[in-house]
Every structure is written in structure tokens, then in C-alpha cells.
Amino acid sequence: MAITTLDGAYAGMQPPRDLLKVATPTLVAGRAASLFYLSGLPGAAVAPTPGIGGAVLTSYAGQLPFTNPVSGNTYLSRLFGHASIAGSLWLCDRLWHNSGIDITSAVEQVFTASADIPARDMNGAALGDGVFGAIEVSAAVGAGTPTLTLKYTNQAGTADKTGTNILATAASAAIGAFYIIGLAAGDMGVRKAQSLTLSATWTSGTIHAVLFRVIAKLELPLAQVGNAIDALSAGATRLYDNSVPFFLFLPSTTTASVVGGHVIWSQG
């Protein structure tokens, strides 16, 4: 049964799941920073090592805790956040990621044996609607400002579509730098990541391709002042079974920031 009333949402509320991390790596105003690898609450994720073909994710140590409902569905019921600088906090579901990318190579690196996303796109299908790609830094990169082209299969099943990083890369980008990949005209999302091509070497460091879905975005317009959205203002967004929630923070300045908050799911 789906939750269809506010009473149902209230009755189905689960205990809060907390976030508290210090984003000490150098932030860049307006560039997403993944909090995944930082210590705090939840604990730091270890950089994944599934290989170039990647792994479809149904859980991953370091995610925000998530338990499937005994019956029925899961909805975002409350997202609270605060930070020591203004910015916005994105709650996301991590669907797939890989490793083994040669950061010094300027030729196409095919994600051999890469799989389709699990059935957790915006409609609970494995098609890719609302699923985006990104390149995530898990160990600071070196010199160079390459452009990143992700080849992907789109939500309609059309292969060999390409998109590049929306925000320009930077030399020495710190751990957590999260370069979201734009979509080709007309595309609504990514079903499968196929390959990555760097236009030039990034010299050193470690990067991963990631497929993710944004569940909610929370504006934090004032430093040290919390803000929250609830089931109504978040659009009663559904999370699907085996979700892997994690956070992105879009800072307004480069200042290291304490980012915290909590999430409450409603299930039923």
C-alpha cells in the first residue's frame, strides 16, 4: 500500500538518520562536493574498487542508513540541514559507481561489462529517467584541466550518447570534487555508463564514474541557520528498496564547512 494521507506519513515516520561532517577539503563555490568519503556521521566510505565495469549498488558502507520497509513504500518525510556557510544540500541515491580509471590517459576508457542501473530511477524503473552521471574524486587529482566526456546509454535505451562535465575541471581538485556530466539534447537521464574520455592527463589522483539520482535539494541561504523540507514541500519523493542515500553539498564559498542535518523516511 502506498501512503496517501498525511496521517499515513506521520504514522510511518522512521527514526531520524543523522548527518554531521566537516568538509575540510578545499571547496569551490558552486561545485558539488561529495561528503561520501569524509569522516563523521555517517562514517567515511572507502573508495570503491569494483573495477572499470563498476558495480550496481544496493548498499555501501558509508551511506546514510536505509532499511527497506516491511511492506509498502518509502517516502522522504523530512530533510533538515545546516552548514557553517551558505549553500545547498542535495540528498541523492547512489546507483552505480566504478574504479580503475587511468587518470593520465587521454584515450577512451571503456567500462567493459558495465551494467544497467537498478530499478531506482525517478519512476522506480531501470530505465534511467532522472539519473545523472558524475565524475567523483576520491583522492586529490594533480595538474591539468581536462574535459571529461562520459559516453552513456540514455533513458530510451539509445547507446553511445555523450555528455561533458558542466563545470570546468580544476587542477588539484580535492577529494569529494563531484563533476556532474551534462546530458545530450533531448535526454532525460542515464541508464548505463559506457566509457570515459579525458581530453588530457589529470596527472595523479583517483576518480570514479558515478550514476546517481537526486532525491531532494535543500536551500541553506544563511550560515549556521538550519532549514528543512517535509513530505509536502519535498513532493513526497519516493525512495525505492535498497536505496543508497548520500549527500552532496554545493557551497557558496571556498571556506571549509561543517555540514549537518538529518533525514526522516516515512514507510508504509
Partner 1 sequence: MAEIGVLQVGDLVRVLPPFRETFPEIYPVEYLKGDGTCGICGDRDFHPRHLEKVA
Residues interacting with partner 1, by CB under 8 A? Answer: 106-107, 144-147, 149, 151, 162, 164, 168, 184, 197, 199-201
In this structure, are residues 176 and 25 in contact, taking their beta carbons and an 8 Å threshold? Answer: yes
C-alpha distances out from residue 182 to 208, 210, 266, Å: 16, 13, 32
**Nearest-approach distance from CB 104 to partner 1, in angstroms:** 9
| Closest CB to partner 1 among residues 70, 185 | 185
For the beta carbon of residue 184, count every other beta carbon within 10 angstroms. 13
**Dist. CA 179–CA 25, nearest whole Å:** 15
**Nearest-approach distance from CB 216 to partner 1, in angstroms:** 29
| Closest CB to partner 1 among residues 42, 163 | 163
- Helix (H), strand (E) at residue 11: helix 6-11
Torsion of CA 231, 237, 239, 245, to 10 degrees: -80
Residue type, 236: A
> Quick one: cell of 224?
549556521
Please tell me what DSSP assigns to residue 65: P
| Closest CB to partner 1 among residues 30, 65 | 30
**Dist. CA 171–CA 141, nearest whole Å:** 7
| Closest CB to partner 1 among residues 108, 219 | 108
**Nearest-approach distance from CB 169 to partner 1, in angstroms:** 9
| Closest CB to partner 1 among residues 198, 234 | 198
**Nearest-approach distance from CB 108 to partner 1, in angstroms:** 8
**Nearest-approach distance from CB 208 to partner 1, in angstroms:** 20
Residues 6+ apart with CB under 8 A from 185: none
CA angle at 33 for the pair 27 and 34, rounded to the nearest 5°:
140
**Nearest-approach distance from CB 222 to partner 1, in angstroms:** 33
| Cis upstream peptide for 146 (omega within 30°) | no
| Closest CB to partner 1 among residues 1, 185 | 185
Of residues 124, 135, 95, the one with CA closest to residue 245:
95
| Closest CB to partner 1 among residues 22, 106 | 106
Q: What single string gives the DSSP state of each residue in 241-255?
A: TT--EEEEEEESSSS
**Nearest-approach distance from CB 145 to partner 1, in angstroms:** 5
